[in-house]
Amino acid sequence: WKGFAGGWEIGDCPNYYCEISEDAGGDYFVPTEDGTIAYSWGPNLYDDEGFVRQLADVEYIVYKGFDWDAIYGDAATTDKTAVLDGIRAVRDGNVFGIDRLGQNAWFEERASEPDVLLEDMMSVLNAAAMSAFHTRVWLRNVFTEAQVADDVCADPSAPREQRGDVCENPDTECLEDCDSDADAAGLLVGIIVPVVVFVLLVVLVLYFKPWKKCTRAKSDHQLIKKTYDTAEADDSKAEGENML
């Protein structure tokens, strides 16, 4: 919500949050129509009706402002509760702020730890699978999770401790530890059979092709010999007649 401009902003693609959402297994919603409120610092903003019309069926929202409590709920000073309740993500309690570690950490840290940002987004979209080994760093559920203390750098000269979780590939581990004799035997058979077939084909080609040539040559030789014998017999007969 851009209170000073009187409208709502919906992030468009391409942008980093589009890629992060898709890499985490989501399908980022791209607005299907432009806003109607002119905004000098970016695309046009949406009025209340246009905002709800665009996001009515969206399942998750990451709210990049720091004023959620000021626009939603009993303590709201600019009450947009009725407007926001028209969106599925709000009704289901799936709205996440970027200020779990305060307002500065999101801008100062996320660019240097994209893997952690990806884990945060995965935890949003699939909390059950991620809760066992990842605690969200920047994203928090605005309905159920409170903001923790601002992240403070105690020693600017110290190496930064990375917060990405170490993942294991179960397939790689299995290749190293599992008994693979059966797989190896199957692979060996799969290699040997084509090789044997190829060798047999080569042998058959080399054997039968010259045999056909020899057979034809032999037949030609017999034909020539037969012709010669017939001619010789005719000559002998002619000589006999001359003698008579």
Q: To the nearest 10°, the Cα dihedral for 52, 58, 62, 63? A: 10
Total Cβ atoms within 10 A of residue 122: 19
Domain segments of the chain as ranges: 16-167, 176-243
CA distance 214 to 117: 78
Each residue's pLDDT tens digit, 56-88: 999 999 999 999 999 999 999 999 999 999 999
DSSP 228-241: HHHHHHHHHHHHHH
* Closest among 48, 66, 53, 54 to 12, alpha carbons compared: 54
Tokens 């008994």, residue located: 179
Cβ-Cβ contacts under 8 Å for 73 (sequence gap 6 or more): 81
Q: Which residues pair with 199 in a beta bridge?
A: none
90 with 78: CB under 8 angstroms? no
CA distance 88 to 29: 13
pLDDT confidence of residue 100: 95
CA distance 41 to 23: 28
Phi, psi at 196, each rounded to 5°? -65, -45
CA distance 155 to 16: 29
Structure tokens at 116: 């952690």
Cβ-Cβ contacts under 8 Å for 25 (sequence gap 6 or more): 122, 125, 126
* Closest among 33, 32, 43 to 9, alpha carbons compared: 43
pLDDT confidence of residue 113: 94
Each residue's pLDDT tens digit, 11-50: 999 999 999 999 999 999 999 999 999 999 889 999 999 9
Amino acid symbol at 44: N
Sign of CA dihedral 211, 213, 219, 222: negative
Each residue's pLDDT tens digit, 91-145: 999 999 999 999 899 998 999 999 999 999 999 999 988 988 899 999 999 999 9
Structure tokens at 173: 């581990």
pTM: 0.67
Each residue's pLDDT tens digit, 146-200: 998 776 778 889 988 888 887 666 555 554 455 555 555 555 555 666 666 666 7
